[in-house]
């Protein structure tokens, strides 16, 4: 195609724009050239697929990388200068593909470095004790902390053969959920939820809701489904009010089996290759520092990370980040992945300018 500018582009849409069936919904592309990345607003008439891609219908996907030709090179010079896309690293594991897609649709260039995995416990003694006490009428309430933990707990009960009897017995006790994920898992099991913590779904929100509902605690026994590590602050709060607790661990956190993506992200952070670091759980920071320590670059990584915009999903993650030397620059208006990504990328240019003394984000 003569007169065109060839290159690989990242196809995207305006932040928050819903997918449409026609390629006219294309809002911009990122043109990768040997020297830079340009963000170029486009109309359908400005973009044509090269022969090895085929028809324009290939652009209907929400976001994908395609070899394309810009048929109007003047666009590269006629538009006002655009800020290069922000380079975003996230440490999400379970929903990494979803997170990468959300970052691309918000106009960022994603790198996903999984930092943890959830391992169900081989020894289900705590789950079996929970079932025994519940069926014997020794429990007054159950607090479900996570959706994954709720599902694993009932999977273990099914292996024991007590799933249905436990599900029925739960109708006689107070059921509390720390947010929408455990509430959704319980709903699938047709288990009523009496109290659900409001956003941002921390243990503090859980106890505030218990206080607001005037839940009687003294002399009562509550089972608490743990997630990854004990919620010691919640335990202390309950025991200080003469409540008795039964911890029910169902899984633990471990490092990913393949550490290469995480190690590469740590090296890239030190090299200044990221503008934004996103955190969706407190444990992610523990594991990043652990791996950086094994590599002998923990302090180098922390110093480099402080030069990035730090986005945290909510107060629990923010507390851990601050305690470990990396205060969050932003918490989203709602503790949701999409809100975290969109609001972080919107706020990042101003935050980075302050942190980097006026340098552009990708300098």
DSSP strand pairing (309-312 vs 141-144)? unpaired
Class of the domain covering 87-116+255-355? alpha beta
pLDDT tens, 170-216?
999 999 999 999 999 999 999 999 999 999 898 999 999 999 999 99
* CATH code of the domain made up of 118-247: 3.40.50.10090
| pLDDT value of position 12 | 39
Structure tokens at 159: 């292996």
pLDDT tens, 210-266?
999 999 999 999 999 987 778 899 999 999 999 999 999 988 788 999 999 999 999
At residue 148 the predicted structure's pLDDT band, cuts being 50, 70 and 90, is confident
Distance CA 30, CA 5 (A): 13
DSSP characters over 263-307: HHHHHHHHTT--SEEEESSHHHHHHHHHHHHHHT-HHHHHHHHTT
Task: Assess contact for 287 and 116: CB atoms under 8 A.
Answer: yes
Q: Which helix (H) or strand (E) holds 253?
A: strand 251-254
Query: Percent of the chain beyond pLDDT 90?
Result: 63
pTM of the full structure: 0.68
Domain ranges across the chain: 5-78, 87-116+255-355, 118-247
User: Is 118-247 the same fold as 87-116+255-355?
Assistant: yes
| pLDDT value of position 231 | 87
Instruction: Look up residue 81 and give its DSSP letter.
Output: P
pLDDT tens, 266-320?
999 999 999 999 999 999 999 999 999 999 999 999 999 999 999 999 998 999 9
């Amino acid at each position: 195609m003569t007169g065109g500018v060839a290159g690989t582009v990242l196809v995207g849409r305006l932040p928050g724009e819903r997918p449409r069936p026609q390629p006219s919904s294309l809002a911009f592309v990122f043109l990768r050239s040997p020297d830079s990345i340009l963000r170029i607003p486009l109309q359908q008439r400005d973009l044509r697929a090269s022969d090895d891609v085929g028809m324009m219908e290939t652009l209907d996907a929400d976001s994908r990388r395609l070899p394309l030709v810009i048929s109007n090179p003047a666009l590269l010079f006629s538009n006002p200068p655009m800020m290069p896309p922000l380079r975003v690293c996230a440490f999400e594991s379970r929903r990494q593909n979803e997170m990468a897609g959300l970052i691309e649709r918000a106009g960022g260039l994603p790198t996903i470095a999984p930092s943890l995995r959830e391992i169900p416990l081989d020894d289900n003694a705590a789950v079996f004790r929970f079932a025994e006490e519940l069926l014997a009428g020794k429990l007054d309430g159950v607090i479900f902390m996570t959706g994954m933990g709720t599902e694993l707990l009932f999977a273990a009960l099914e292996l024991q053969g007590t799933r249905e009897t436990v599900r029925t017995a739960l109708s006689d006790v107070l059921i509390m959920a720390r947010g929408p994920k455990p509430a959704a898992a319980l709903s699938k099991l047709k288990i009523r939820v009496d109290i659900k913590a409001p956003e941002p779904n921390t243990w503090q929100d859980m106890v505030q809701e218990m206080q607001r509902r005037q839940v009687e605690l003294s002399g009562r026994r509550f089972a608490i489904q743990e997630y990854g590590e004990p919620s010691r602050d919640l335990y202390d709060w309950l025991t200080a009010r003469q409540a008795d607790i039964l911890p029910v661990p169902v899984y633990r956190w471990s490092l990913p089996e393949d550490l290469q993506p995480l190690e590469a992200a740590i090296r890239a952070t030190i090299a200044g290759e990221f503008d934004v670091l996103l955190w969706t759980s407190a444990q992610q920071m523990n594991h990043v520092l652990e791996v950086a320590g094994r590599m002998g670059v923990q302090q180098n990584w922390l110093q480099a990370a402080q030069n990035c915009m730090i986005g945290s999903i909510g107060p629990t993650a923010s507390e851990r980040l601050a305690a470990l030397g990396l205060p969050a620059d932003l918490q989203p208006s709602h503790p949701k992945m999409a809100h975290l990504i969109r609001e972080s990328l919107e706020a990042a240019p101003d935050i980075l300018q302050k942190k980097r003394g006026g340098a552009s984000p990708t300098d």
